[in-house]
Amino acid sequence: MIEIFQHFEKYIKLSDTLKSELADRIVPIVFKKGELVHNADAICKNGYFIQKGLLRTYFFKDGKEITEYFSAENEWVNSPRSFMQQKKDIYYIDALEHTDCFCLNVKDLGFLFDNFPEMERYARLSMGTVFGHYLERITSMRFATAKEKYQHFCETYNDIYHRLPLGMVSSYLGIAQETLSRIRAEK
C-alpha cells in the first residue's frame, strides 16, 4: 500500500483519514500473463494502479487488434469512457506480463471525490500528464513519418518498449510490421 500512497503524495497531501479510506477501498489484485483484465462487452467498474507488470489497452477493427496504449509500473489504467460514463465502449485490456495491481472501484472513487476535495485535485493534476501524452500521440500520428513515429514511441515508452511484442508496437504506431522491422534495422 505504501507504493500507491507515495504515488498520490506526488500530487496531494494525504491526511491520516484519507489514507485510512484509501486502504479500506483499494485492494490488491494479480493478473497472469495473457489474462483479460477488461472485456469491452462489460462496463468498466475498476481502475488499476500497476505496481509491477504491463497491461495493454486495445480494440478490434475489421477483425484485427489495434493497440491503443500500454501501461506499466506506477500508472493507472481503465477503459476511460466506460469507467467515467458507466457505459460499454470498444476497449479491452489484457496483461502482457504477470501484473500486480491495486484495484479501485468507480463507486469508491466517487465516494473519495465526494468526501475528500484533495482527491479531485489529484485527478486533475494526474490527468494533465495523460492528456499531454495523448496530444503528443495525436500529433505524431497525424504529422510524423513512420521513422519519426517510432522515435517518438521509443522516447515515450523508454522504460518498456523492449518488453513489447513487435506486432503490438506496429499496431500502436499504425504502420506495417515489415516497415517497423526495417526502421529498427536502420538503427
* Residue-wise burial string across 157-185, b where 16 or more C-beta atoms lie within 10 A, e elsewhere: beeeeeebeeebbbbbbebeeeebeebee
The residue among 57, 51, 92, 89 whose CA lies nearest residue 72 is 51
DSSP 187: -
Tell me if the pTM is above 0.75: yes
Count the Cβ atoms, other than its own, within 10 Å of residue 83: 21
What tens digit of pLDDT does each residue of 8-37 get?
999 999 999 999 999 999 999 999 999 999
C-alpha cell at 140: 505524431
Q: Which residues contact 34 (CB under 8 A, 6 or more apart)?
A: 94, 95
pLDDT band at 187 (very low <50, low <70, confident <90, very high): low
C-alpha cell at 131: 492528456
pLDDT at 52 over 70: yes
DSSP 14: P
CA R_g for the chain: 17
CATH, range 2-117: 2.60.120.10
